[in-house]
Chain A
């Protein structure tokens, strides 16, 4: 379903005081309410930490007629480690990610992404599920979920379904979520031992800035020195968070010598599709993306 585009002002929106609100504390209750709303053509928009929706309401950009408060819904928070993956509840806040020893051990770039998303006030309330559902191409955690091959579990009264993060976005602010569905959790496969793992944000300042370019990068070399596996994703250089399969193919199975890295950097320049906007220019974004690819492929070659 299309996510609301907060860049577009709406003419006829309800007043804040007219918004119908349901506060859910149990997942079953939340899903039943959402299913009924979708069926009658009056869907409920979920709110968790409010860091997007409250701004949209204040600025009268997106004012839903119905809001379901899921902040306290049980079973949607917390971080767990299983044998092959780490699992994060959709209501897990950036602050919780920053404090998590499990995330720090297995996917440290997600800690960096959480640390540089907004500042402490946003990190207390903003949630991973909100970052994903918000569907902004500049969502700070998204390059990590993308490059690390994360999976999402979506739930409705019809049951749960698992979708690949890579398939979740279908266009600018468009995603697979149905009107009666919530993101329940995110699962990230544990990277191979010895992987180089990086999150790199380029913005005007570390805190509170919306990124000009963001990179999620993971890779490791095999015993023969060739690239055994690699995942490269960028934020803010395309209408959606952008996985870079062509750039990855340019190096996978190869020794990272100068010619190979040069070739991959050229491919990366073609693969990103940045725009000029208030934060940066397409030219700058493309150059920065290429420089980041060069920097971390070089680092990988020495790992």
Chain B
């Protein structure tokens, strides 16, 4: 089935079975391999992408529901060589170790900051509760998101 799918601002037409997972469509058909597969059952958040600004697990979205919406993957965050503040702060504050959870974690954090530029640490914890990390112990991830929020607030006030 041919599906018109807008990903990171670009319209693509893919020819896939309608119940193919959006995760596999992104990785196999569009070669956007930043989106990772962890559990494949909606628990871990490694496959997180944004659909019309909302965080979703792409392992749970059939490709047919990618029609007519705007999908943002981790590849869509940087502006050329300039990383998104969340990405930049994950580097500076060592919010990433093995890296498997990072694309989903960064997108969940971005979705939070798009709604709330001054989240408490508790609000950050809740926003990334669906993204499991087995390396960092989460503290450095929360530090990274806090720092990104601070930078984005400065940008908003500049």
Contacts and interface: CB of A to CB of B under 8 A. Distances in A.
A186 to B, nearest CB: 22
A90 to B, nearest CB: 17
B20 A16 contact: yes
B127 A19 contact: no
A54 B61 CA distance: 7
A92 to B, nearest CB: 14
Contact of A71 (B21, B59, B65): B65
A69 B64 contact: yes
Nearest to A118: B130
B105 to A, nearest CB: 12
Nearest to A55: B41
Interface residues of A, number: 30
B55 A17 contact: no
Interface stretch (B4-12, B43-51, B87-95): B43-51
Contact of A47 (B21, B41, B57, B62): B62
Contacts of A71: 65
B56 interface: yes
Given A55-B42, A95-B54, A118-B42, A208 B130 contact: yes
Chain A residues touching B, majority SS: mixed
Given A16-B17, A19-B19, A120-B55, A208 B62 contact: no
B129 A55 contact: no
A121 B42 contact: yes
B108 interface: yes
A125 B56 contact: yes
B18 interface: yes
Instruction: Pick from A49, A58, A121 the residue with the most CB of B within 10 Å.
Output: A121
A69 B108 contact: no
Given A51-B60, A59-B41, A69-B62, A16 B19 contact: yes
Contact of B18 (A19, A49, A58): A19
A57 B60 CA distance: 10
A121 B41 contact: no
B108 A120 contact: yes
A121 B62 contact: no
A195 interface: no
Interface in A21-48: 21, 23, 47
B147 interface: no
B64 A21 contact: yes
Contacts of B57: 51, 121-122, 125
Contacts of A47: 62
A21 B1 CA distance: 10
B126 interface: yes
A58 B108 contact: no
28 contacts: A17-B17, A19-B18, A21-B19, A23-B64, A47-B62, A50-B61, A51-B42, A51-B60, A54-B59, A54-B60, A54-B62, A55-B42, A57-B19, A59-B41, A69-B62, A69-B64, A69-B65, A95-B54, A119-B130, A120-B108, A121-B130, A124-B54, A124-B55, A125-B56, A125-B60, A125-B61, A207-B126, A207-B129
Interface of B: 1, 17-21, 40-43, 45, 48, 51, 54-57, 59-62, 64-65, 67, 108, 111, 126-127, 129-131
Given A50-B65, A120-B129, 9 more contacts: A17-B17, A17-B20, A19-B19, A23-B64, A69-B18, A69-B65, A120-B108, A121-B42, A121-B55
